[in-house]
Amino acid sequence: MTTARKPRAHRQAVTVTDIAKGCGVSRATVSLVLRGSPLVHADTRARVEAELKRQRYVYNRAAANLRRRTSSSIALVINDLSNPFFAEFAAGVDEALGGEGYVTLLGSTGESPERQQAVLGSLVEHAPAGMILSPAEHSDGLALRRQVGAGVPVLVFNRELSGADWDFLALDNQRGARLATEHLLSLGHRRIAFFGGHADSSSCQQRRAGHAEAMRAAGLEADPDWLVECSPTRAEAAGRTGELFERAPGATAAVCYNDNVALGLMLGLGARGVRPGAEFALTGFDDITEAALSTPPLTTLAVQPRECGRHAAQLLLDRVREPDAPVKRVVAPVRLVVRGSSGAQVP
């Protein structure tokens, strides 16, 4: 605990005692009515319910949680809420939790491990039943584990976290890249490069693995020269277009690390007089809004962040209900969206 707030009394709430007095029963009976117990007589129940309505009673869940030693909140810690992917994810989480009677405690870290520590410290004091954590970059898994404690189940999302044996949910990167590669293969392409991403990131490794898997299955050898690294930004990708063709001469298609890289590559191709989608096929990953609006529109993998969020909520609640179940590692489905950018003729 760190902060000092001005102690501000909140509304003089009407309590079970007021209701009990108001209709001549005991507080216990009121509580039983509130919790929907079948033990109480229908007439009594009706009387109590009328009184609840009359006095505009509002349940104090915090008090109930304290007494019952339960929790009705889940902490959701997001590294970057301004990223539409995570915003959608958060919406999905909140939607699913709400449906199960939980409330979402939000915490955003802005990719700062220090802020993450502070946020977790504050959230833990509110005794959430569990936590969904999309870790900030360079998070220390062991430190997080220590701070959160053993009592709060955690689901880690999106980024691998070493040193903690928590449940883990991530995109199905490998399958996504495999689907994209298979799609290009089915159109007749054989010389398919993998363009973009950093080889030391787990998501890039997984996407490369999917590409390699599909190539191998088609009886093609994946040449390591055909894996071109670059930062996942448009400008960087545009600038590396030349390198792609030097290292992968004769390539007729590329599976790109993500949409930004693909859109950058389109710019680079255009600058070299190569018409993307007509003379060179390419695919992205993420299905960002602009993917559908580019010229040509981009074939990509829709990652359905909202569904992902719902899925995460469900996984965490499973864990909350069954704390001793074995640790889970789950991949979220991705879906290939075919658009114009992959329509290039094979020479």
Contact set with DNA (CB under 7 A): 7, 13, 15-17, 24-32, 34-35, 38-41, 43-44, 57, 59-60, 63-64, 66-69
The candidate with the shortest Cα–Cα distance to 209, out of 189, 199, 230, is 199
Nearer to DNA, 67 or 138 (CB): 67
From CA 146, how far away is CA 260, in angstroms rounded?
A: 37
Least gap, CB of 19 to DNA (angstroms)? 8
Contact flags string 36-55 toward a second copy, x per CB under 8 A: x-------------------
Q: Are 206 and 177 in contact (CB under 8 A)?
A: yes
Count Cβ atoms below 10 Å from residue 233 Cβ, excluding itself.
Answer: 15
Binds 88, which of DNA, a second copy, none (CB < 5 to 8 A, cut-off by type)? a second copy
From CA 304, how far away is CA 89, in angstroms rounded?
A: 8
User: Please, which of residues 168-197 interact with a second copy by CB under 8 A?
Assistant: none
Q: Are 300 and 283 in contact (CB under 8 A)?
A: yes
Residue 24 is a binding residue for a second copy (CB under 8 A):
no
Least gap, CB of 13 to DNA (angstroms)? 5
From CA 265, how far away is CA 145, in angstroms rounded?
A: 41
Binds 320, which of DNA, a second copy, none (CB < 5 to 8 A, cut-off by type)? a second copy
User: Please, which of residues 127-146 interact with a second copy by CB under 8 A?
Assistant: 127, 129
Nearer to a second copy, 6 or 41 (CB): 6
Nearer to DNA, 42 or 293 (CB): 42
Nearer to a second copy, 41 or 56 (CB): 56
CA R_g for the chain: 27
Cβ neighbourhood burial of 144 (10 Å; 0-12, 13-18, 19+): buried
Residues 6+ positions from 137 with CB-CB distance below 8 Å: 79, 111, 113, 159
Binds 105, which of DNA, a second copy, none (CB < 5 to 8 A, cut-off by type)? a second copy
Residue 306 is a binding residue for a second copy (CB under 8 A):
yes
Residues 6+ positions from 278 with CB-CB distance below 8 Å: 296, 343, 344, 345
Binds 321, which of a second copy, DNA, none (CB < 5 to 8 A, cut-off by type)? a second copy
Residue 320 is a binding residue for a second copy (CB under 8 A):
yes
Report H helices in 188-290. Answer: 202-217, 234-239, 241-247, 259-271
Nearer to a second copy, 54 or 68 (CB): 68
User: Please, which of residues 59-118 interact with a second copy by CB under 8 A?
Assistant: 59-63, 65-66, 68-73, 76, 81-82, 84, 86-88, 90-91, 94-95, 98, 100-108, 110, 118
Residue 292 is a binding residue for a second copy (CB under 8 A):
no
